[in-house]
Amino acid sequence: MSSNQHANQGETAHDFMGVLPQQALVELSEIQQVQSFLDGELIHQRGDHGDGLSIVLSGAVKMGNYGNDGRYFLSKLLLPGESFGEFVVFADLPRTHTAEAVGDTQLGYVSGSVLKQALTNSPALAHALLVSLSKRLHQSLETIDDLKRLPLAGRLAKLLLLIARETQKHKAVAISQEQIAAQLGVSRISISKSLKQLSQLGFVKTGYQTIYLTSPDKLAAWVAQQSQTLVLN
């Protein structure tokens, strides 16, 4: 990979949940094969088996699944610096989601055997991957807990705050109601009702494919109050 590509990764890889640190990306760049995908091109399907780790170098990858009725459920949008494929490498598990390119996308692919050798040679790289996986597991467990306990408005608020933090756009989240509905697995009408509720509370304003957070701190405090649980000592 060229030095310009490294610089671009450094500019785009903000504090995303599960993003790999710059040093890990540099180490992986020495052993990866670059793969290119066009917008909307299939990368892999749910149920496929694989043998490698993929790192998003440019563009983006959407992870989701299609229901029997053709409805699409978005689980995660992976941005530069994020990786996928750890399950197939370390646990020989099938793919859990269908992956598709969003925009012209480049991936760095590292085969399982090459990756395992690199992790043996570089404890720092192994630690970076463990931290990345731990963050994503933590987020997944939070999401499962939210599904059990939080009303939709609370889950929506947490999602907006997370996206705002990840993109460093603290008061403007560039996302459509359709995209929110797909990510939360609900209807657009339900999202519209929840946005109206948050708007009436004075937390958000809606615009064209953008949600404006009028008071992020107050919204975060409201979410924390909604999320309160008993802490066992």
Q: What is the value of pTM for the model shown?
A: 0.71
In sequence order, the 6+-apart residues with CB closer than 8 A to the CB of 70 are none
The pLDDT-based confidence of 44 (bands split at 50, 70, 90) is very high
d(CA 41, CA 57): 16
pLDDT in the model for residue 16: 43
- The tens digit of pLDDT for each residue in 116-130 reads 999 999 999 999 999
d(CA 164, CA 150): 20
- The tens digit of pLDDT for each residue in 159-188 reads 899 888 776 666 888 888 888 887 787 889
**Domains recognised in the chain with CATH numbers:** 22-141 (2.60.120.10), 150-229 (1.10.10.10)
Q: Which two tokens stand for residue 81?
A: 């610096």
- Taking alpha carbons only, the member of 210, 9, 233 closest to residue 108 is 9
